[in-house]
Amino acid sequence: MKTMKRTKRNFFGSFAASFTGGAASLRGEQGVEPRDAPPMPHEIHHSDAGWRRRLSSEQFRVLRRGATEPPFASPLLNERRSGLYECAGCGLPLFSSAAKFDSGTGWPSFFKPLDGAVNALADADIPMPRVEVHCRRCGGHLGHIFDDGPKPTGLRYCLNGAALLFRQADS
């Protein structure tokens, strides 16, 4: 059995997980990264100017500044075809349409990401702590994780459609 060294990072991860109903499992044993943790290394880096050239203004606002789009604003909310949802910043496949469900919240929602596609980060900037979801490859802000999702995970990845691109499966 592997034991974890008790650190401030692990303690905060456990604390944040108590508000997310187990979202700490997203990052394996280390759980949810606290906001003050050293930045996670990403494979893709661009300056703000570089990101602005690659993204629409709304994509930049969401992916690079952590904004939230208005509910019911994304055409991906009603996307029903089979395929993959990719990061609009770097093209990394993040979620399968098989994990998508209608949460009634106004944002595209999924009960699980593709393996190794996302990272979770504690968001303590608001009165009630929650967990942000970021693209593992470019660090783009995708949305948040809540513990009111369906089985088998009980999680709801509530995502901004502006952070995603849909790629239809081959017929």
Q: Find out whether 23 and 145 touch, Cβ atoms under 8 Å.
A: yes
pLDDT of residue 127: 74
Is 158 in the active site?
Answer: yes
Residue among 63, 43, 28 nearest 137 (CA): 43
pLDDT of residue 41: 72
DSSP 168: E
Distance CA 64, CA 16 (A): 23
Burial 45-60 (b: 16+ CB within 10 A, else e): eeeeeebeeebeebbb
Residues of the chain under the 70 pLDDT cut? 1-40, 126, 171
- In the block, tokens 């239809």 appear at 168
Residue among 131, 110, 107, 108 nearest 121 (CA): 131
pLDDT of residue 34: 54
Q: Find out whether 111 and 153 touch, Cβ atoms under 8 Å.
A: yes
Residues in the chain: 171
pLDDT of residue 102: 97
Compute the chain's Rg from CA coordinates.
Answer: 16
The encoded tokens of residue 149 equal 């999702």
pLDDT of residue 25: 42
pLDDT of residue 37: 52
At position 134, the amino acid (one-letter code) is: H
Distance CA 75, CA 87 (A): 15
What is the second-level CATH architecture of the domain 47-168?
Beta Complex (2.170)
